[in-house]
Amino acid sequence: MSTITAAEVNKLRTMTGAGMMDCKKALTESGGDFEAAIDILRKKGQKVSAARAENVTSEGIVAITISKDGKNGKLIALACETEPVSKVIDFKNLSEAIMNVAVAKNPKTTEELSALALADGRTVHDHIIDLTGKIGEKVAITSYVSMDGEQVVPYVHSNGKLGVMVALKNTGGKDCSEAGKDVAMQAAAMKPIALDKDGVDPSVVEREIEIGKEQARTEGKPEAMLEKIALGKLNKFYKDNTLLNQEFVKDNSKTISQMLDTYQKGLTVSEFARIALA
């Protein structure tokens, strides 16, 4: 068996980003064949990924990029298990590379994004597997959103783990970024589950009605009144949990819908996305 030199180990490390000892072991196992050694390292990454598949990824980076015309936004959450890994340069570089290819190719889903090739010809999925093998910790794209609107406004919280995109409608050609930023920060703080009541999952509505009935029953209300009382509680649920109906945190005399209409007649939100790593 040929002796593996330090120069060869360093070359493989440069090619793959893997650790020195992992590179030396892979070259030794492959008898100095670089292509085979790369396959060995990738297989190691796949094994690590499979072994950690159920691990919680509550750290990472949430990033947003808005197109030059302001009409499209891309939101990506690249997650890992621990905070130190989220600060590693290879992790940050991969996050940037994934965002760049998302902007360039405009994939519609996470699956499409994962299948795109980066600069070296390998897919996003392969890069994630390789980084998993290198750092020994699960890495995953946990969220990807591509959003269109008359004006798309971003907000990323200072910790880099929470991001919101808001698509505005009926802007009248006006720059409404200030109002959009207020709405995005509202969504970040108040965690709405839907844009308005029509967007709430029917199963959630049914559950809230049943909870309202049971609460009224416990309070001793007449059985004939339970449905009406529950519907009243449901309206309060909509006010608290749907973005356009929430009280504006900066001025609770107005709802978000009313604030937007005051800012620009007819201005509203057509879509929003709130992504948090936790």
To which residue do tokens 């519609």 refer? 108
- On whether both 70 and 140 belong to a single domain, the answer is yes
- On whether both 84 and 107 belong to a single domain, the answer is yes
End position of a domain, from candidates 148, 174, 189: 148
Kindly report the length of the chain.
278
End position of a domain, from candidates 96, 120, 148: 148
- On whether both 126 and 99 belong to a single domain, the answer is yes
- On whether both 89 and 100 belong to a single domain, the answer is yes
- On whether both 40 and 83 belong to a single domain, the answer is no
Q: How far apart are CA 129 and CA 276, in angstroms?
A: 23
pLDDT, residue 235, reads 95
Domain that holds residue 131: 54-148
Q: Which pLDDT band holds residue 2 (cuts at 50, 70, 90)?
A: low
Three-state DSSP state, 149: coil
Q: Kindly state whether residue 31 falls inside one of the protein's structural domains.
A: yes
Predicted confidence (pLDDT) per residue in 187-219, tens digit: 999 999 999 999 999 999 999 999 999 999 999
Structure tokens at 184: 């995005």
How many CB atoms within 10 Å of residue 6? 9
Give the count of domains, the chain. Answer: 2
Cβ atoms of residues 141 and 77 within 8 Å: yes
The single-letter code of the amino acid at 41 is L
Residues 6+ apart with CB under 8 A from 250: 182
Cβ atoms of residues 46 and 133 within 8 Å: yes
Maximum distance among all alpha carbons in the chain? 88
DSSP E strand stretches across the chain: 59-66, 72-80, 140-148, 151-156, 162-169, 247-248, 251-255, 268-276
Q: How far apart are CA 122 and CA 235, in angstroms?
A: 51
Three-state DSSP state, 27: helix
Predicted confidence (pLDDT) per residue in 6-64, tens digit: 999 988 887 777 788 988 999 999 999 998 998 888 888 877 777 788 888 999 999 99
> For residue 243, how far is the Cα from the chain centroid?
19
* 141 φψ region: left (φ > 0), alpha (ψ -120 to 50), beta (else): beta
The single-letter code of the amino acid at 128 is I
Cβ atoms of residues 147 and 271 within 8 Å: yes
- On whether both 101 and 27 belong to a single domain, the answer is no
pLDDT at 264 over 90: yes
For residues 93-110, give the mean pLDDT: 98
- On whether both 82 and 41 belong to a single domain, the answer is no
CATH code where residue 134 lies? 3.30.479.20
pTM of the model: 0.83
Q: What angle do CA 101, 12, 83 make, to 5 degrees?
A: 55
For residues 101-120, give the mean pLDDT: 97
> 223 versus 16: which is more confidently predicted?
223
- On whether both 46 and 119 belong to a single domain, the answer is no
- Indicate the average pLDDT of the chain: 94
- On whether both 132 and 67 belong to a single domain, the answer is yes
- On whether both 38 and 83 belong to a single domain, the answer is no
Closest CA to 39 of 21, 18, 53: 18
pLDDT at 263 over 70: yes
Structure tokens at 84: 């130190």
- On whether both 44 and 61 belong to a single domain, the answer is no
Three-state DSSP state, 139: coil
Q: Kindly state whether residue 223 falls inside one of the protein's structural domains.
A: no
